[in-house]
Copies of this chain bind each other. A is one copy, B any other.
Amino acid sequence: MKKEHDTQPGRRRVSASRPSHQRGTERPHGGHFSRPSRETTPSVPAVFDKNALRVIPIGGLEEVGRNMVAIEYGDNILIIDMGLQFPEEDMPGVDYIIPNIEYFKGKERNVLGVIITHAHYDHIGAIPHLIPRLANPPLYGTDLTLAIIKRRQEDFKEISSRLELHQITNDTKLELGIFKVEFFGVSHNIPGSVGVIVHTPEGILVHTGDFKIDERSNIAGVTELDKLERIGKHNPLLLMSDSTNAREIGKQHSEIDIMTELEDIVKNAKGRLIFGTFASLLGRLNEIIQLAAKYKKKLIIEGRSMKNNVEIAKELGYITVPKGTIIPVEEMKSYRNHEIMILATGAQGEERAVLMRIANREHRFIEVEPGDTFVFSSSVIPGNERTVQRLTDKLYREGVDVINYRMMDIHAGGHAKQEDLKKMIEIVKPRYFMPIEGNHSFLRIHGKIATRAGYADDKILVADNGQVIQCKGGICVRTKEKVPSDYVFVDGLGVGDVGDVVLRDRQMMAKDGMFVVIATFDNRTKRVMGNPDLISRGFIYMRESKELLMEVRRLVKRIVEQSAGNHAPGEINWTYIKDNIREEVGEFLYHKTHRHPMVLPVVIEV
C-alpha cells in the first residue's frame, strides 16, 4: 500500500517542498518586484473624501507602457487608457504586464467610461483582459482607434465578450456622470490620436496622451494648440503630459525632414528596398506608401498585423493608396528589383517575423539577394539588441546593404522633446503639473522642464504608480495613499496567476536547471528499492556524468534508510527527510559542479 508522506496538514502529499532558503519568498506578489519609494509610504487614508477629486495613475509612471489613469470624484470614475507593458528580462515566459485593477473591486459600477487616446498597445493592450472585469464599461475612441481595438479583440474571443464602443472625434463633447469631457487632436505616429480635457468639480484636467508638436507639417496630424490655448485661459487645474522623450534635448523633428530623408533612401535605391518596421507605426507606413507611388515603385506589405493596420487605415480614409502601388507578393517576379519596395514586420529580430524569414531564406516568396537594401531601426527595444545584431550579421553575410534609420524606431519621431514639452506647459498654463508615461527618471527630468517653465516644486507632482493625487479647493497634493499597482502578468490564458514564486522558479531553472530525485521506500524491508531514479534537465548532460549520478544515488539511499529505517511506518517524518535530501544533494552537486540546480526530492512509500 502507498501512503501519505507529508506530515504538514493541508499540504499536497508528494509536494516536493521548496528549499529552505527560498521559503521567505513564498508570497505571490511583492518582494523582488516591488518598487521602493522614500516619499510615499502606502497607507490607507482615514476618510475617503467624497467631495475631493482623486487622480490615480494605475500604471505608466514607473515604466514606458501599461498606461492607465483613473479620475475619481465621489461615485464617478473615468479611466484614460488601458495599456500593456512588455516584460523585462527577468520575467521569462511572461507575455506582457497589465495594470492592476484591484482598486476597482466593488466599484466596477462607478466606472462611467474608458477613454482611449490612440491605438498603440501601451494604451489599448489590456482592454480584453480588464474590460470584462470592470462590468463592461463603454469605451470611447476615434474611428481608427476603435477599429484596431475591434480587430485585436478577435484574438481574445475566449476571454472577452463584446465591447461597448463609442466613436468620438476631436470635437466630440461627452457628459459622463459628473465629468464633462472634450478632446483635442494630437500629432503622433499613428493617426486618430487625441488628448483629453476633463472638466471636474475641482477644475479642468488636461491629459496629453502621446504627442509631438510639428510646426512645419500636418503629415502626422496636428496637435490642436489653439484649443489648448483657449483652455489655458480657464485656469486649468492639472496637466498630465507625455514623458517618453523627456530626456531628449531640443525639439522633435518635423515629419517634413523625416520624409526628406526617407525620400533620399527611396530615390537612391539601386535594388530592392526592404523596410523593417512596426505595424503600429501607421504614420511612417503611410509615408513609405506615398513615396513608393511618387517613385513609381511597387510596394509589397508582408506581416499580418501590418496588412491589417494598413487595410483599416485605408478603409477609414487615413491612408490613400494610389492605384497599382501595393501589389500582392506573388506578383513580385513580374517586376525588376529596383522597382520593388517591401514593408515588413520584424525590425526587432523576432524569430518568426517576416524580416528574419527573409534573411533565413525561409520566406515563401522573398529571398534575400545581393543588391538588396534593408532599412530598419537604428536603436532597439531593450533586450532585443543581440537578436537584431544576429539579423544584421546574417544580412551582411548575404552581401546586402543595411541602413540603420532612427526614424524607424518605435518611439522616435512620435513624442515631444524637451522644448516641445516646455511649450505644452506654457500653453496650457496649469496650476499643477504631473509628468506621466515614462520611467521615474524621465518623470523627474520632465519635472525639471516644468521648473524651467517657472513652476515651484510644490506645483510639480512626480508620482508613483498607484499613488493618489487629491485635489480640493484648488490645492492638489500627492497623498500617502497608494492603491495596488503591483505587476499583473499575462502568461498564456492566465492573468495574474504567475507571481513572484513562479518567476523565481523559472529564473532558477533557467540558470542551473533542475534535478528530480525519486526514491521508493519499502516499508516492509525498511530499504530503498533498487536505486533512486534521477531526472536532470538543464543541469548536466546525464550520459556524460554517470559517476556523479551514482554518487548521488548512494547519498540519497543512505539519507532515506538512515532516517526512516528505525521508525514505524506512521512515525516517519518525510518532510524532514526530503529537506535533508534537498540540502545534502544540493550541496554535493554544488561542490562537484559549482551549479545550483533546483533539487526536487520525491519519496514513494510502498
Point out residues on A near B: beta carbons under 8 Å: 1-2, 12-16, 28, 36-38, 62, 88-89, 92-93, 382-383, 385-386, 389, 392-398, 402, 439-441, 444-445, 491-494, 497-499, 501-503, 505-507, 509-514, 516, 518, 520, 529-531, 533-535, 537-542, 544-545, 592-595, 598, 600, 602, 604, 606
Contacts and interface: CB of A to CB of B under 8 A. Distances in A.
Nearest to A397: B440
A559 to B, nearest CB: 19
Given A497-B544, A594-B492, A538 B518 contact: no
A602 B535 contact: yes
Contact of A62 (B2, B38, B393): B393
Contact of A383 (B385, B502, B595, B606): B385
26 contacts: A12-B534, A14-B533, A14-B535, A15-B535, A16-B535, A88-B386, A89-B89, A93-B510, A93-B595, A383-B383, A389-B441, A393-B440, A397-B440, A491-B512, A493-B593, A497-B544, A501-B541, A502-B513, A502-B540, A505-B513, A509-B537, A518-B602, A520-B520, A520-B604, A533-B604, A537-B598
A500 to B, nearest CB: 10
A600 B537 contact: yes
A66 to B, nearest CB: 15
B516 A516 contact: yes
Contacts of A497: 540-541, 544-545
B541 A499 contact: yes
Contacts of A598: 537
Q: Which of A392, A493, A494, A499 has the most CB of B within 10 A?
A: A494
Contacts of A594: 492-494
Nearest 10 interchain pairs by C-beta: A492-B594, A510-B510, A382-B385, A14-B533, A506-B538, A92-B510, A505-B538, A396-B441, A509-B509, A93-B511
A395 B439 CA distance: 12
Contact of A398 (B38, B394, B531, B535): B38
Contacts of A516: 16, 516, 535, 600, 602
A66 B77 CA distance: 58
A531 B1 CA distance: 12
Contacts of A93: 510-513, 538, 595
Q: Which of A444, A509, A529 has the most CB of B within 10 A?
A: A509
Given A513-B509, A593-B494, A518 B14 contact: yes
A454 to B, nearest CB: 21
A513 B518 contact: no
A449 B593 CA distance: 46
A514 to B, nearest CB: 7
A88 B389 CA distance: 11
